[in-house]
Structure 1
Amino acid sequence: MSSVNGNQEESPTRDSTAGAILDSSVGSHADTLLKRMQHFVDNQQLCDVVLIAGIDGKRVSAHRLVLSASSEYFLAMFAGSLRESKEHEVTLGEVHGDALQLLVQHCYTGSIELHKDTVETLLTTAKMLQLTSVVTTCCNFLARQLHASNCLGFAFLAEQYSCTELLRVAQAYTCQHFMKVCHDQEFFQLNANQLGKLLSSDELRVPTEEDVFHTMMSWVRHDAPTREQHIPKLLAKVRLPHLPPSFLVDHVENVCSASNECQQLLLETFKWHSLPPERRSLIAATERTKPRKYILGVLLAVGGLDSSLNGVNAIESYCPYLKKWTTWKLKFNCIDVGAAIMNNKLILLGGYNGRQTLNSVVSLDLNTMASVLLNPMRTARCKVGVGVLDGHLYAVGGTSNYNSILSTVERWDPIARTWSDVSPMCTERSSPGVAVLGLRLYAIGGSFDTPSMESYDPQTNKWSLRAPMNRCKGEVGVTVANGFVYALGGLRDGDPLKTVERYDPTTDTWSLICSLVDRIGIGCALLGDRLIAVGGFDRTSPHNNVEEYDLVRNVWNKLAPMSVPRYRPHVFNIPNIIPPPPAPYTPVADKDGSKPA
């Protein structure tokens, strides 16, 4: 007796009287059977059903057994009580003959060849016939063809046929490349509901919210007579509170006059702008009051001292879109440099190189990463505070050679490319916190428990003392948000503080707000509507902690830490001039776990 067994391995010690055993592997056996079946269908042998394409009438012969084993659709048709189970010819409506033939062939061979001009037809037909592996392969193929000119169409196709992964990838691509997509013809063919869904996405990557408004209006003007009626619904998707008041007056008001709904949105927005941050929670929180992820920009952490109190020669950038820090290498071999962002360039001033205090000034272009030397400062400075006011760069105080603390201030004119002295401060300050608010420059604290603050008026070239902080502080982290100056942490009687104070220039008063972990030398900046505290030094070592302060809820939350601790880092919020890399596309696995080719 001869036995064919492809599923169970026979024991070699089996009784020899059982006869010879042919042990074929499952793969080779299945391949042989499929090749035989394919030979039968190619030669019209033993076929028991003819499939007829409903669109063009093409006839495709096949075997019910093979079709039923490949597709739940055919299994339900032929193994159940449907009329088609007894018929020799079955017509499939809304099916193209060429696609049907390729898919039937796939049932015999397990392979299929895809082309750009036929893949969408194959996808829709395979979806109808419940050939899941083909659907997955088609989706992977389309995902690799994504472009600004087709991503909206692919997303619509994926949504129509419930191709979840292709829909996710196409929508992500659309958001990532929105500024190109919105100029393509596909964009202007969207209906109002599709556009509204796109404009409401938090993932939309645009330089400013103004671009969102202009994009919406370009879609409306493409067919104004029929599309103007949709303005109220679409305007609600624009995050109006994040448009400058001047833009609202110049561009938004004139499209709101004919609609009570639009006027209500505008009224809500002006009210939001008029309230201080702590009172904005009185307005019902909506998506409109939340800045989009990408518009937030990125944070740069520059310089500072590491755990060994050596200078950190690398920039790190934090992307709120990816929620992580990325390290850039930067070659400067000095510590305690001053830094500022001016015209999309990082300006590094002075510092200490281990031998002497420097007066050098380096400009690093954040688009090209090319650096150039600018004219040096008139005075060598390290631990210098830096601010940009009315297009001019100010170097404030610091420490000169021989550890002499400075009260002098000098100003860089980028047009004349010269430095000039301005009026000195009332107080000598090393590592002062410097802030720009309105038309004034503020110098706050210093490294030796200096609680005082003074402001500089460039019109009069005079410094004036302002209300001191409530707690004696030196080495405070300083930034500006929503019309207030914030001072974080700092030093008091040699001990680091956890307090955070806020200065109101309209009343010349300081008030305490929610505390954080006590430390000095904190770097801070504004990211969207959140205050960010970066690094600092506690009683023993520098931190790599990063926290965000919710101005409305008055709470601190942790963010992803930096890769290295930094004491006295400079932190800036810059536009997304260096976009984060997109997440790579990962092909979807078939149900058996294999990855389609």
Structure 2
Amino acid sequence: MASPSRERRDNHSPEEQPDSHSDHGMATSRNGGSEYSLTSLAGHDECFCSLHHAETSLNRMEAYLVNNQLTDVTLIAGSRHIPAHRLVLSAGSEYFAAMFTSDLREATQSEVVLQDVDGDALWMLVHYCYTGRIELREDTVETLLSTACLLQLTAVVDACCSFLMKQLHPSNCIGIRLFADTQGCMDLLKVAHNFTTEHFMEVIPNQEFLMLPADEVAKLLASDDLNVPSEEEIFHALMVWVKSDVASRKKDVSRLLSLVKLPLLMPSFIADYIETNPLFREDRVCQDLIMEALKYHLLPERRPMLQSPRTRPRKSTVGDLYAVGGMDANKGATSIEKYDLRANTWNHVASMSGRRLQFGVAVVDGRLYVVGGRDGLKTLNTVECYDIKSKTWTTLPPMSTHRHGLGVGILEGPLYAVGGHDGWSYLNTVERWDPQARQWSYVAPMSTQRSTVGVAVLNTKLYAVGGRDGSSCLRTVECYDPHTNKWLSCAPMASRRGGVGVGVVNGYLYALGGHDASASNPSAPRFDTVERYDPKTDTWTQVASMSIGRDAIGVCLLGDRLIAVGGYDGQHYLKLVEAYDTQNNEWQQVAPLNTGRAGACIVVIKNPLP
């Protein structure tokens, strides 16, 4: 029945005034209803909502489904006949909505045949349309997912994908990856692919890998994200796959071998395992690939011209990059961060034993050597060693000279400490640490006093680049030959660069950033420019600039990229990290540091040899 009005009528026209009936003692309206009925006393409308209406209705519909009552269509999948209700199916599935609300013939058919659909999976999904619940099991989830994709049941598809992600294992990840690709489930594909690359060493022995078609093996081997300790493992994986069916897979060997980074293998490995392998002897392409790899080792001076995807190392094989200390907003960072190239993340891994600024760091026998610097009060000559594995610090014999603003480098075994400032004057002296004798000794001094000097090793020589000598920043460069114990002058840079960062890639030396400012002008502009030195022609060439000007940059080679870490732009200590691609002559930003810092020492500890 219609609900009565709740409006109060306080003002009436003469025609609307009620008649008075003294015998009843109350007023009535013209139509006989009471003007003072209960509904007229309330002030607001109300709306009742049953909290369990939808659940109750669906439960009743489910009962109609189970008891085959009021059904108006039968779905047929194989031998399975499933009576159902068009309205419920259309409400739950975009697929059925399109089928039953259009001009398709199925809209009026009492029976609808679904070709190539699993009957049990269809029943589970029909039941889901009535209940919103479905059971996911390992043995049926893939069939369920593919059927849910067909019926456009997005929520079920997502639930199945999440379930499969939890089931990933080295023995099934390739199958799940291929299945996700077939179904167009991109999130599952990405997760399964990442799992496969992360656990590749565990995936190799499994049947799924051995049964892969050549095209899928090629996709895997082409990935630089494969988590392997060395490129030798990639070659072994290829051989395991080929040997499981040599007759049919021999035709694919040359194509797949081209995806192994042969130039990055040890020469002895190439000679022992590849050059003598009968599979490659009669194949011209394989022979060319082997020759390319041998040339890369025999002619190191030609490596800049021999660059290709095969000379770009996989991310897991380049070692670990460490950013040690530096100046930060708290006037001295003691933290050590490690960069994970595969994950593109920085993580705090250790702390220095105390505050040090403008020190040097080098890697000797897989350990970090921290040399000299200043602690904020005095210049240091002390040397400490950090063992990455045991996470312990030990003290080594000190240098003969206190030095901050020095540069360090490893040349043919010994460690060199170059120039710097002793707290009173700029230095041209150089000391050498003999790791066998465990002692320091002086070698020939540089021709020029240099502090905040860039030091790098290139072609068995030690280079000292730029810096400042007390009166000005320097553009001069000199190199040290350990066999003659002499320093020789090289061509100067185009710009004076104090606080310059230096690194070496493919036979070239790079000078990054820096400044040409007096000590009294700390906020002067910093350089974003980069110069490249060719030792064969003794010339400098300008290459692509960094994104911003900065000095006190930490620079190191990681794989085939030159990494520029942190620095100071005249106002801020930077978290910025950029990687230089020599082939494309361009800089790309990578994950920033957790702590902005300038003058951090950047080193790489390489993976142990296989």
TM range (shorter): 0.7 to 0.9
Aligned positions of 1:310-459 closer than 5 A: 310-321=331-342, 323=344, 325-326=346-347, 330-331=351-352, 332-367=354-389, 370-379=391-400, 380-400=402-422, 402-403=424-425, 405=427, 407-413=429-435, 418-427=438-447, 428-448=449-469, 449=473, 453-458=477-482
1:590 is matched with none
Task: State the shift of 1:150 in Å.
Answer: 1.6
Task: State the shift of 1:207 in Å.
Answer: 3.9
CA-to-aligned-CA distance 1:13-42 (integer Å, 9 cap, x gap): 59999x999956487333222111112233
Task: State the shift of 1:152 in Å.
Answer: 0.8
1:216 is matched with 238
Task: State the shift of 1:411 in Å.
Answer: 0.9
Aligned positions of 1:528-539 closer than 5 A: 528-537=559-568
Q: Does 1:463 align with 2:490?
A: no
Q: Does 1:194 align with 2:225?
A: no
CA-to-aligned-CA distance 1:417-461 (integer Å, 9 cap, x gap): x2232534244544433222343433444431455555445556x
Indicate the larger mover: 323-332 or 227-236. 323-332
Task: State the shift of 1:119 in Å.
Answer: 1.8
**AA of the residue aligned to 1:411:** W
Alignment check: 8 A CA contact 2:430 2:446 kept: no
Task: State the shift of 1:83 in Å.
Answer: 6.9
Q: 2:145 aligns with which of 118, 123, 131?
A: 123
Aligned positions of 1:209-248 closer than 5 A: 209-240=231-262
**AA of the residue aligned to 1:31:** E
1:260 is matched with 284
1:483 is matched with 507
Kindly report the root-mean-square deviation, in angstroms, between the aligned alpha carbons of the 2 structures: 4.1
Alignment check: 8 A CA contact 1:399 1:406 kept: no
Is the alpha carbon distance of 1:453 and 1:91 closer, same or farther for their aligned partners in structure 2, counting shifts above 3 Å? closer
2:540 is matched with 511
**AA of the residue aligned to 2:358:** D
CA distance in 2, matches of 1:522, 1:251: 42
Task: State the shift of 1:333 in Å.
Answer: 1.5
CA distance in 1, matches of 2:476, 2:154: 71
CA-to-aligned-CA distance 1:112-156 (integer Å, 9 cap, x gap): 121223322322333344433222211121112222222111112
1:31 is matched with 55
CA distance in 2, matches of 1:259, 1:12: 95
CA-to-aligned-CA distance 1:549-592 (integer Å, 9 cap, x gap): 44344455555654555333222244589xxxxxxxxxxxxxxx
CA distance in 2, matches of 1:367, 1:564: 23
CA distance in 2, matches of 1:11, 1:115: 56
SS at match of 1:117: coil
**AA of the residue aligned to 2:598:** Y
SS at match of 1:405: strand
**AA of the residue aligned to 1:330:** S
1:524 is matched with 555
CA distance in 2, matches of 1:207, 1:291: 11
CA distance in 1, matches of 2:272, 2:453: 39
Task: State the shift of 1:65 in Å.
Answer: 3.5
Aligned positions of 1:32-71 closer than 5 A: 32-51=56-75, 53-54=77-78, 57=79, 60-71=82-93
Task: State the shift of 1:367 in Å.
Answer: 5.0
**AA of the residue aligned to 2:154:** T
Indicate the larger mover: 162-171 or 262-271. 262-271
Task: State the shift of 1:524 in Å.
Answer: 1.5
Alignment check: 8 A CA contact 2:426 2:451 kept: no
Alignment check: 8 A CA contact 2:303 2:506 kept: no
Is the alpha carbon distance of 1:375 and 1:225 closer, same or farther for their aligned partners in structure 2, counting shifts above 3 Å? same
Alignment check: 8 A CA contact 2:385 2:396 kept: no
**AA of the residue aligned to 2:539:** W
Q: 2:182 aligns with which of 160, 163, 173?
A: 160
TM-score (norm 2): 0.77
CA distance in 2, matches of 1:410, 1:271: 34
SS at match of 1:34: helix
2:129 is matched with 107
TM-score (norm 1): 0.78
**AA of the residue aligned to 2:333:** V
SS at match of 1:201: coil
Task: State the shift of 1:265 in Å.
Answer: 4.5
CA distance in 2, matches of 1:42, 1:362: 77
2:599 is matched with 568
CA-to-aligned-CA distance 1:148-200 (integer Å, 9 cap, x gap): 22211111211222223222221222223223222333211211111112222
CA distance in 2, matches of 1:566, 1:140: 40
**AA of the residue aligned to 1:532:** I
**AA of the residue aligned to 2:56:** T
Task: State the shift of 1:237 in Å.
Answer: 3.1
**AA of the residue aligned to 1:530:** R
Alignment check: 8 A CA contact 2:384 2:393 kept: yes
**AA of the residue aligned to 2:351:** L
Alignment check: 8 A CA contact 1:2 1:22 kept: no
Q: Does 1:180 align with 2:202?
A: yes
Indicate the larger mover: 314-323 or 27-36. 314-323
Alignment check: 8 A CA contact 1:303 1:336 kept: no
Alignment check: 8 A CA contact 2:180 2:189 kept: yes
**AA of the residue aligned to 1:303:** G
**Higher relative contact order (CA closer than 8 Å, sequence separation 6+):** 1
Alignment check: 8 A CA contact 1:478 1:487 kept: yes
Is the alpha carbon distance of 1:40 and 1:239 closer, same or farther for their aligned partners in structure 2, counting shifts above 3 Å? same
1:6 is matched with none
**Structure exhibiting the larger radius of gyration computed from Cα positions:** 2
CA-to-aligned-CA distance 1:356-404 (integer Å, 9 cap, x gap): 3334333334456x12213232434433322223444333344446557
Task: State the shift of 1:231 in Å.
Answer: 1.0
Task: State the shift of 1:473 in Å.
Answer: 4.9
CA distance in 2, matches of 1:382, 1:133: 62
Alignment check: 8 A CA contact 1:411 1:422 kept: no
Count of equivalent residues: 558
